[in-house]
Amino acid sequence: MGTQTKIVVIKAKEIIYTGIFLVLGILLIILLINMFGKEKNEKTETTSKYNPGVYSSTITLGENTLNVSVSVDKDTISGVTIENLDETVTTMYPLLEPALNEINEQITVVESVDDITYSKDNQYTYIILNQAIKNALEQATVTE
């Protein structure tokens, strides 16, 4: 009972194909680990959008100068008020107060001042107030 020697013939083509598939398999595994592993390893930093406080901007309506004050928390806008608003301004610009009230209702719900919706009837009042709010928010924005 003698042992017979077996000769295995491996073609070079098969070795090359196997090597290529092994390299592609390893690259696929590394890619999947990088894509889905990052979510677990990332640390979410809580950065604030605004410096908390009250910031103001001015608007001029006719001969009257009004201060638009925007109060902000670290991530949200708390409210908008108009200072120096007297009876003559409200008489000359009757849509000013209703527009401000609508903005205050929407400001805590929307993410950006640009997302505030308004009617076509008093769009110019909203545009003026919206620009004044943006000017005040530029002062409040956190710079890194």
Q: Residue ranges per domain, the chain?
A: 53-140
The pLDDT of residue 2 is above 60: yes
Closest CA to 138 of 55, 40, 81, 60: 55
pLDDT for 144 beyond 70: no
Q: What is the pTM of this model?
A: 0.63
The CATH number corresponding to 53-140 among 3.10.20, 3.90.1010, 2.40.160, 3.40.50 equals 3.90.1010
Distance CA 143, CA 28 (A): 40
